[in-house]
Amino acid sequence: MPPRGMAPMAPGMRPPVPPRGKPPVPHTPWWQRDGVISRVLAIAGVAVTLIGVVMLLVLAAQAGFFGPVPRVVAGALFSAGLVAAGMRVFSRTGGRVGGIALAATGIAGAYLDVVAATAIYHWLHPVLGFAVGLGVAAGGVSLAVQWRSQPLAVLVVVGAAVLSPVLTTELVLLAFLIVLQLACTPVQLVRDWPYLHVVRTLPAVLATSLFIAGAIFDISSGSERALLLGAAATVAAVGLVGTVLVVRHRPADLTASLMLASATVPMLAAPGMFDHDRAVASLIAGVFAAVLLGVAATALIPKIAAVVKIPGHTAIVAAVAGSIALLEVCVAVTDPRSLPIAWFLVALAYFGVAGQRRSGLTAGIGAAFAVLGAFAFLNVAGPEVLASQRYSEDNLGVATVLGATLALAVVAVAIWCARRLPAMHATAELQWIAASLAGLYAVTAATVAIGVATGAADGFLIGHSAATILWMVAATASLFYGLRNLAKPTNVPKLALGSGLLVTAAALAKLFLFDLATLDGLVRVAAFLAVGVLLLVVGTRYARAFAEAGAKSSPNPPA
C-alpha cells in the first residue's frame, strides 16, 4: 500500500530518486593557490628591482662606482629590456602576471631614470625632463589600457612615486609627481580603475602639502612660495578637471569625488604661506572659493545641472572645500571685531540660497558659518563685557552694533529657510527656542553697543534700560502670538506662551537684580514704567483670552 496522500505507482515505475547535492568543493589554503603566490612574488620582485635601479642611480654615485653616464645608460637599457621581456612573457600562456610585473618594473625604472637625469645630473632642462617623464608615464598607462590591467598602471605609478623622493627632495620632485597625476587622468575616462585614482593623486597631494607646511613654519624665499603656490594650484586643477570629466561619465564614482577632496588640501593650506601679506592670502583663497563654489552651484540650477551633469557627491565636496576657502577669506580680511560681520554675511547668503533652492547642504553650511559668527561675536561682546560699563566702553562700538543687527537678520532668515525645508518641520519647537535665545542676546548687545557708541556719559545705562524694555516687548509679542493661535493643533503657540512667560520673568529679574542696582535717575524710572505698563497690557489680554475661550466651550445660556 502506498503511503497516505500518494498516488499508487503504475507497474514497472521506479520510486523517484531524491536529488543529490553538489559534492563539496575542497578548501585550498591561500599559500597553495597559484594566483596568490604569483602575485605576491611579482610585487616583491617589482619592489626589489626598482630599489636596485635607485641604488644604481644614487647609491653607486655616493660610493664612486661607475660614472654618471654609465649609470644612466645602464638604467635606461635595463628598463627597456624589462619592458621588452614583459611584453614577450605577457603574450604567452600563463604569462599575464609575470608580464605585468616585468613591464611595470621597466616603465617605473625608466621614469626614475628621467628623474635622475633631470634632478641629479641636470642633463635635461626641467621642462624637457617633465615632458620626457610625461611621455614615459603616458606610455606605461597606455600599455595598461591595452592590456586591460589596472595592476600594471598602479605598479608603475606607485613605484615611480614612492622612489622618486629617494632621488631628489627639491621642488622639482613636485613636478614629477604632478606629471604622474596628469598622465593617468585620461585613463580614468575609459577605465573604471579606482585604485589608480588614489595612487595618482595622493603622492602629489602629500608631497605638496609637506612642502607648504615647511614653507609656513620656516622662512622661505618669495620665489619658492610662488612655485609652491603654482604646484598646489596645478594639483587642485588636475584633480578638479579630472574628477568632473570622470563623474560626467560615471556619476556613481565616489572615489573620484574623494580624490577631489584630497586634491584641494594643498590649495587650502597655501594662503598660510602669505600671512605677512593678507591681501595676497585673501586673493588666493577668494579665487579658489569662487571656482569651487561655482562648480557646486551648478547642481542647484536645474537647467545648468542638466548640461553639466555633476552628481551630488561631487557638488558636496566642491561646496565644502569652497566654503573652507571662503572662511579663510573672512579671516584674512577682518580683525576680531569685524570677523562676526563677515561670517554673518556669509551665513545670510547661504541661508538665502538654501531657502530659495530648498537645499539642506547649503543650509547646513550656512548654520556652520552662523555658529562661527556667534562664537566670534561672543568673543567681542560676551556676557561679562555687557555687564560691565568699563569693559563695554573698551570693547563695544559700531562694529558690534552691525554684528548684532546681522545676527538678528541671520536668525530671521534661518527660520524662514527652515520652514521651506521639509526635513526641518519636525524641529519647529527647537527652532523657536534657539531663535528666541539668540535674538534676545543680539538685541541686548545691540542696545548696549548703541548706547556706548553714542559716546554719551550715560550711554551704557541707557542701552541697558532699552534692553530691558525690549525684552518685555518681545515677551509681550510672544504672549500675544501664543494667545491668538492657541486653537491651532501645533505646539508652537503653547511654546510661544511658555517662552513669553519665561522672558517676562527674565525681564523682571533683570529689572530688579541688575537695573535697580546699576541704573539711576530717569533711566531707571523709564525702565520701570515701560515694563509695568506692558505687564498690565499682557495681564489684561491674557485674562480676556482665556475668558473668551471658556465662554466658547460652555453651553449657551437659556433665553
d(CA 261, CA 287): 17
Mean pLDDT of 36-44: 73
User: Do 243 and 182 form a contact (C-beta atoms < 8 A)?
Assistant: no
Q: Beta-carbon neighbour count of residue 206 at 10 Å?
A: 15
Confidence band (pLDDT; 50, 70, 90) for 26? low
d(CA 229, CA 284): 9
d(CA 317, CA 44): 37
User: Do 314 and 256 form a contact (C-beta atoms < 8 A)?
Assistant: yes
d(CA 459, CA 449): 9
Mean pLDDT of 165-174: 91
**Weakest mean pLDDT among 121-125, 135-139, 233-237, 487-491:** 487-491
Confidence band (pLDDT; 50, 70, 90) for 10? low
Q: What pLDDT sits at residue 432? A: 78
- Indicate the residue type of 559: A
Most confident of the following: 31-45, 55-69, 118-132: 118-132
User: Do 159 and 151 form a contact (C-beta atoms < 8 A)?
Assistant: no
User: Do 465 and 401 form a contact (C-beta atoms < 8 A)?
Assistant: no
Helix axes 150-167, 194-217, angle to 10 degrees: 20
d(CA 552, CA 11): 91
Q: What pLDDT sits at residue 447? A: 92
Mean pLDDT of 184-196: 91
> In whole angstroms, how large is the CA radius of gyration of the chain?
36
Q: What pLDDT sits at residue 559? A: 44
User: Do 325 and 289 form a contact (C-beta atoms < 8 A)?
Assistant: yes
d(CA 164, CA 174): 10
The rounded mean pLDDT for the chain is 85
| Residue 31, pLDDT above cutoff 70 | no
| Residue 45, pLDDT above cutoff 80 | no
| Residue 520, pLDDT above cutoff 90 | no
User: Do 58 and 116 form a contact (C-beta atoms < 8 A)?
Assistant: yes
CA 447 to chain centre: 37
Q: Record the pTM.
A: 0.81
- The contacts of residue 451 (CB under 8 Å, 6+ apart) are 458, 459, 460, 461, 462, 463, 464, 466
| Residue 308, pLDDT above cutoff 60 | yes
Residue-wise pLDDT for 424-474, tens only, equals 877 877 887 888 889 889 999 999 999 999 888 788 888 888 888 888 888
Q: What pLDDT sits at residue 304? A: 87
> Alpha carbon of 88 to those of 94, 177, 350, 477: distances in Å?
12, 29, 60, 86
Q: What are phi and psi of 525, to 5 degrees?
A: -60, -45
User: Do 180 and 137 form a contact (C-beta atoms < 8 A)?
Assistant: yes
d(CA 331, CA 341): 11
In this structure, what is the dihedral angle of CA atoms 503, 509, 512, 515, given to the nearest 10 degrees? -70
- Indicate the residue type of 250: R
Q: What pLDDT sits at residue 281? A: 94
| Residue 313, pLDDT above cutoff 90 | yes
Q: What are phi and psi of 359, to 5 degrees?
A: -105, 115
Write down the residue that cell numbers 558636496 correspond to: 316
Range list of β-strands (E), 474-518: none
d(CA 97, CA 54): 23
Alpha helices by DSSP H, listed for 312-458, are 312-333, 339-357, 360-380, 383-387, 389-395, 398-420, 428-453
Mean pLDDT of 20-40: 58
Write down the residue that cell numbers 584630497 correspond to: 262
Q: What pLDDT sits at residue 529? A: 87
For 511-555, the DSSP string reads: IIIIIHHH--HHHHHHHHHHHHHHHHHHHHHHHHHHHHHHHHHSP
Residue-wise pLDDT for 133-156, tens only, equals 999 999 999 999 999 999 999 999
Name the nearest CA neighbour of 257 among 330, 188, 178, 172: 188
Q: What pLDDT sits at residue 527? A: 82
Mean pLDDT of 214-223: 79
d(CA 337, CA 357): 32
